[in-house]
Structure 1
Amino acid sequence: MLEQLLIFTRGGLILWTCKELGNALKGSPIDTLIRSCLLEERSGAASYNYDAPGAAYTLKWTFHNELGLVFVAVYQRILHLLYVDDLLAMVKQEFSQIYDPKRMSYSDFDETFRQLKKEAEARAEDLKRSKQVVGKSLNNSKKQGHMQKAGFEGVTNNKSSESNSSNDSEDGDDRKGRKLENGHSNGNYVHNEESKFNGRANGRENGSSNAGAFDVNKLQKLRAKGGKKTEPAVSKGSKAEPKKKITKKNRVWDDSPPQAKLDFTDSVGENGDNIEVVAADHGESMMDKEEIFSSESEGEEDEEVGKDSKPETKKKGWFSSMFQSIAGKANLEKSDLEPALRALKDRLMTKNVAEEIAEKLCESVAASLEGKKLASFTRISSTVQAAMEEALVRILTPRRSIDILRDVHAAKEQGKPYVVVFVGVNGVGKSTNLAKVAYWLLQHQVSVMMAACDTFRSGAVEQLRTHARRLQIPIFEKGYEKDPAIVAKEAIQEATHNGSDVVLVDTAGRMQDNEPLMRALSKLIYLNNPDLVLFVGEALVGNDAVDQLSKFNQKLADLSPSPNPRLIDGILLTKFDTIDDKVGAALSMVYISGAPVMFVGCGQSYTDLKKLNVKSIVKTLLK
């Protein structure tokens, strides 16, 4: 049964809902659809599954892009209604004829919808019956075919038995024995074929020179001759150029006495004093510097889209596209958009965007442009380019506040520290970028404490201790082989007692498929309830970014004992200075998780941390 059907504008104004259905939806499926699909450029999908306590809905939708209308149908997922797509198409066609932008009430559409619903249900029922009839006819034809085959085999068996009986009388018991061994009704034919085959095989094995057979003896003689010719050459070469024995030279050691101390990172004396502060010499963090971006439009972008497309497509559509740009086109069709979308997809993939995400983005842009009227003196490629740029800006722009300093002061007013947990796979630079974030917070007069919760990797505690000594901030550590969740909890208690404003929790690197470590991470997040869960990822990854983030979120959701598990809140993108223009990992990570990029690491010093410039990223992706 259909639960609800709504018609609303892209601005969010509801124009009509079905009063007959009038079912109270559990949860907020429409709001979730708008946030998760329509605003995140996932509208190219066929449907959306909404899960809530006691509710499991399937939502399907369609657009009228020229009028700016959205049509959404909601029904129970278990029902699998076949007429919903047909009903949405008919409702879209009928409602667009009576739509008036100045009109707010459409109560007269109730009767029209009732008739359309009956018609769609009747079509679906007829289609179901026709499929059943076709299925029955196919089954009957199969049965008849089996019966005919069985009857034909019976006739052939009788004929073969008669022929075999006559042959048995002529050839005697020897022929009967061959027939029984072959197991076929036409034993004479099979026996002759097998005898021919066996004769050829025997001839090859015995090396006999039968007519039409290959003589193996000749091949063996040729091989033997070839081996005799090559052997002396090899032996001559070995005698002429004997291998020289390589002897290892003796190592010459320096007579100077060894240095008393090789660990230059440890600047603390035996009594724990004399701490050397190095952080003050690094200067201002790049987080507080505004990046200048030139928003000048480049006229060559449209030409590049045409260059990326295939030559035959360009030759075929040049005159028609020029004519459409001058005269305008009534309505854009999917076939008109495909060449430009194909070029954009290839361009995004060359910039390290995952193929799956590039495909979904193009589908979403096609869904938002299909049916729109092309303005005069406007090319299709430029229209598609503008729509893609708008979609990328909407995806990369954070949908919530990412001002950590404001959140830190809000937590301080409540008398508790602001807790940030750094998670990610192995070797992405979690500890180094944690130190960069600590340095940036120190410049804003925020007291920071580090928590060494990487109790798995050897040297992790010493690495974080080195950063803490250089930055002259406290560190909470309990050594190795301890429960990281308990270590983090004790660190937060210590920070509350000492009055620290922020606790930065360093965790062990783990692959997304390592269930024991993912279970330990889920326990740490559940037990301590941090204010921010930062996923540290490399800017070098492409398709692997989708797998990492999706599985991290999935494991955190599955392994958490809470009904409302905490997922990844933000992204810290590292090694951004090594990728040149391959900035697609930022788009892939944001698209797959919905979390914003809060920090970008772009170097090895403490100051090399900055914000993500959305306009710069979009321009780089599309140039």
Structure 2
Amino acid sequence: MLDHCSISHKGGIVLWSRSFTPDAAQLAASSSSPVNSLIREALIEGRTTDEKYEKDGYAVKWSFVNDLELIFVVAYQRILQLTYVDDLLAALKTLFIKLFEPFLATFVASLHALSSGKVVSAAGEVATQWSFVKAFEGWDKIFDKLLRGLEDKAAQDRKSRLRNTTRSVDVDSTPPSDDVSTVPSQPMDTPVDEQQIARNVQALKNRLRGRGVKRGGRGMGRMDMGSGRDTHPDSDSEAASKKKSKAKIQRKWGDEAPTEGDMAVLDFSADKQDAGNETVGSHDLQALVDKASLGTRTRDGMYEVKDWEFARKREDDTDNVIAQALSEKEDGAKKTSSSLGTLGTIFARLTGSKVLSEEDLKPVLEAMKQHLMQKNVAKEISEKVCEGVGEGLVGKKVGSFQTTNAAVRLALSNSLTRILTPKTSTDLLLSIRSKLSSPLPSTQQRLPYSMTFVGVNGVGKSTNLSKVCFWLIQNGLKVLIAACDTFRSGAVEQLRVHVRNLSMLGVNGATDSKGRVELFERGYGKDAAGIAKEAITYAKENDFDVVLIDTAGRMQDNEPLMRALAKLVAVNNPDKIIFVGEALVGNEAVDQLTKFDRALRDFSAASGSGKGRGIDGMLITKWDTVDDKVGAALSMTYVTGQPIIFVGCGQTYTDLRQLRVTNVVSAILSD
């Protein structure tokens, strides 16, 4: 059954509502209600679709009436499969407007009059001026009748499906005899005696025994279905020979075993530092730092990574394209070279004093969706963004081509900006210093700031963790890297090389930074959650400021590995969980991020106490390979609502950038 249903004005005034359970009534009155979360997290941030919104075990569906500025909302428990919700929303909207349209039009007009007259009035005061109870008298009975009819229809449909399913199961499950085609079909109402049941059971056994022979292959079944014994005469000896054949054979190095001198020549892992040339092994230390990509120092001495500069390089080109589109004449819009510029010919059809409808905007939104997909925005996200733009334009009155073009572009820009604007601060350094400087009781020892890097296989977690470590070292922080990837061969050695390099790259690239960074590792095959806990304890006892926890890559669908990762999160409760993803994945980013975040929340809640932890921010790698196709940033931010903290754009420790929302929006709108 439903939990809550309401009809509201977009200004926040509730015209009518109904809660069907006491718990739902209490939840609807609280600030954490799913309806309030819908308005706050989805509608205000531009995530306007007709798909259901999920929050804390509830599913919420909604629909708009733009000309009357009304929002119809239905909430129910997510576990329930209510098939009539869409029909209820459509009928609810149609009936309510048909019955009360004159009153609603007057009410909305009065609100606009108050707004134009600059009369500031609280929503509660406005509501008291209009007697909604009296105006909507009789609506409760109409709603109850509508809901009861839809529920009865859904119940009948379920019974019908169940009846058909039962009939098909009874027919299909009748066990055949040795020859399947010779079993006569029986009517549904014909009783089956005990002898018939026994014959059917025996026929089923015969058929299963026959299948066992076929699966065994080569004329002999691997297992006798009747006796349960292995029928292969040489099974024991064959298994023993297979086991023996898997024994590792010693590798031959020529005619004789390698000497110590041979091994020394093949050893590339030892430090061979040449103080005069500042080399590590055969690598120049200066090659680890790109001077051109070094960040800048603020007045207070803080080191900041550079902004991503693509939009700055192409800002003039974008402005020229928009100016050219706006200057096109109404009677003959010329096509430009960009996909967004071609919208000019479509915008020309929308000229004249008219009110935009869904049919008018359909070709415009389709072209807009194609443009976003060309920018590597996931298809589902492109559709939702365009739906949000369309819902904001339906019912609006337009005039000339220039004003129409500008209105559509502005709506798209505002929608992208709302999505990309983070709900939480992206100033990671401020969060670290706030925790380290917060007062504590004299008997309590301060915990270091911990960050866990998670993601799928091969995206560059360890490499970009080292870039973040370099940034922290430049800001005078003492960093401990915890090697919690105990699965991948070479993972610990990779971090050891990074720590060795970083310890020689001091502040501003100077040498001798030992003591600022250290590696904590316990080898392979150990519990990652336990290693992370030991690392945090070690960092606390040795005055480290930050702990960076490296984890093994895993696919989002691998439940055992996701449970292990959730255990690490639940046991250690890191300050930040950073998802490392690729800029190239496009649609795959939505699936990866959604399932990663959901699995972490569900499994960490089951492993620990209290609410589960999800992803707190993102670091996107290989950003330098996508040019202006930066749609992955939009897709990832849309899915989680969390900010992109950094992007990786190269192979040196200085190749880390921060994103500005305006730069990303300009790149998406550019040619």
TM-score by length of 2: 0.65
Q: How much has 1:542 moved relative to structure 2?
A: 1.2
For 1:422, what is the secondary structure of its paired residue? strand
Q: Does 1:109 align with 2:136?
A: no
Q: Is the 8 A contact 2:637 2:643 kept in 1?
A: yes
Percent of pairs identical after alignment?
Answer: 42
Q: Residue 90 of structure 1: CA displacement?
A: 4.7
Structure 2 match to 1:267: 271
Structure 1, 102-111 or 298-307: larger mean CA deviation: 298-307
Matches within 5 A, 1:349-498: 349-376=373-400, 378=402, 380-414=404-438, 415-472=446-503, 473-498=517-542
Aligned to 2:646: 599
Task: Name structure 2 gaps, 5 residues minimum.
Answer: 115-120, 159-260, 297-303, 327-333, 439-445, 504-516
Of 41, 45, 48, the match for 1:43: 48
Structure 1 runs of 4+ with >6 Å offset? 19-22, 124-135, 274-277
Q: Which moved more, 1:582-591 or 1:494-503?
A: 582-591
Contact 2:290 2:655 in 1 (8 A): no
Deviation track 1:177-200 (CA, whole Å, cap 9, x = no partner) reads: xxxxxxxxxxxxxxxxxxxxxxxx
Contact 2:307/2:660 (CA < 8 Å) preserved in 1? no
Q: What is the CA-CA distance between 1:88 and the residue it aligns to?
A: 3.4
Cα drift, residue 341 of structure 1: 0.7
Structure 1's 265 and 351: CA in aligned 2 closer, same or farther, altered over 3 A? farther
Match of 1:98 among 107, 115, 120: 107
Aligned AA (1:62): F
1:581 alignment partner, SS class: coil
**Structure 1 stretches of 5 or more lacking a match?**
136-256
CA contact (8 A) 2:377 2:631 kept: yes
Number of aligned residue pairs: give it: 486
2:35 aligned counterpart, secondary structure: helix
Counterpart residue identity of residue 529, structure 2: A
SS of residue paired to 1:533:
strand
Deviation at 1:471?
0.9
Distance of aligned partners of 1:465 and 1:60 in 2 relative to their CA distance in 1, 3 Å threshold: same
Residue 554 and residue 15 in structure 1: after superposition, are their counterparts in 2 closer, same or farther (change >3 A)?
Answer: closer
Q: What are the Cα deviations for residues 430-457 of structure 1, in whole angstroms up to 9, with x where unaligned?
A: 1110000000111111111100111100
Residue 385 of structure 1 and its aligned partner are, at CA, apart by: 2.5
Q: Distance in 2 between matches of 1:337 and 1:600?
A: 35
Aligned to 2:612: 565
What is the aligned counterpart of 1:581 among 624, 628, 631? 628
The CA distance in 1 between the partners of 2:7 and 2:155, in whole Å, is 33
Partners of 2:151 and 2:496 lie apart in 1 by 69
Match of 1:503 in 2: 547
Q: Residue 591 of structure 1: CA displacement?
A: 1.3
Please state whether the residue corresponding to 2:581 is helix, strand or coil. strand
Aligned partner of 2:598 among 554, 563, 571: 554
Which residue of structure 1 lines up, in the alignment, with residue 353 of structure 2? 328
What is the 5 A alignment of 1:282-301? 282-283=290-291, 284-285=294-295, 287-290=304-307, 293=312, 294=315, 297=319, 298-300=322-324
One-letter amino acid matched to 2:644: V
Q: Distance in 2 between matches of 1:526 and 1:115?
A: 52
Deviation at 1:14, TM superposition (A): 3.0
Does structure 1 retain, via aligned residues, the 8 Å contact 2:5–2:17?
A: yes
TM-aligned CA distance change 1:456 to 1:290, over 3 Å: closer
What secondary structure is seen at the aligned counterpart in 1 of 2:136?
A: helix
Aligned to 1:7: 8
Larger Cα Rg: Structure 1 or Structure 2? 1
How far has the Cα of 1:258 moved from its partner? 7.6
Q: Alignment partner of 1:468: what SS? A: helix
SS of 1:24's equivalent in the other structure is: helix
| C-alpha deviation, 1:73, in angstroms | 4.8
Partner residue in 1 for 2:330 = none
Give 2:573's aligned residue: 529
Residues 263, 336 of structure 1: alpha-carbon distance in 2 compared, 3 angstrom cutoff: farther
Counterpart contact for 1:61–1:73, Cα < 8 Å: no
Q: Distance in 2 between matches of 1:355 and 1:371?
A: 26
Cα displacement (A) at 1:3: 3.5
Instruction: Name whichever of 259-268 and 114-123 sits farther off.
Output: 259-268
Q: In structure 2, do the counterparts of structure 1 residues 570 and 90 end up closer, same or farther at CA, with 3 Å as the change threshold?
A: same
Q: Cα–Cα, structure 1 residues 566 and 266, in superposed 2: closer, same or farther, change >3 Å?
A: farther
Length-normalised TM-score, structure 1: 0.69
Specify whether residues 113 and 305 from structure 1 end up closer, same or farther in structure 2 by C-alpha distance, changes over 3 A only: farther
Q: CA deviation at 1:60?
A: 2.3
| Aligned CA distance change for structure 1 residues 569 and 268 (closer, same or farther; 3 Å) | farther
CA contact (8 A) 1:420 1:532 kept: yes
Alpha-carbon displacement from aligned partner over 1:56-98 (angstroms, at most 9, x marks no partner): 464424243x565545455677675654433334545442332
Rate the CA distance shift 1:443–1:113 in 2: closer, same or farther, 3 A. same
Moved more, 111-120 or 30-39: 111-120
**1:567, 1:128 → 2: CA distance?**
36
Deviation at 1:380, TM superposition (A): 4.1
Q: Is residue 454–residue 579 contact of structure 2 (8 Å, CA) maintained in 1?
A: yes
Report the Cα offset of residue 108 of structure 1: 1.7
State the distance in 2 between where 1:126 and 1:516 align: 45
Pick from 31, 39, 61: which aligns with 1:34? 39
Q: Partner residue of 1:622?
A: 669
| Equivalent-residue separation in structure 1 for 2:435 and 2:3 (angstroms) | 46
**Offset, 1:489:** 0.4
Deviation larger for 428-437 or 559-568: 559-568
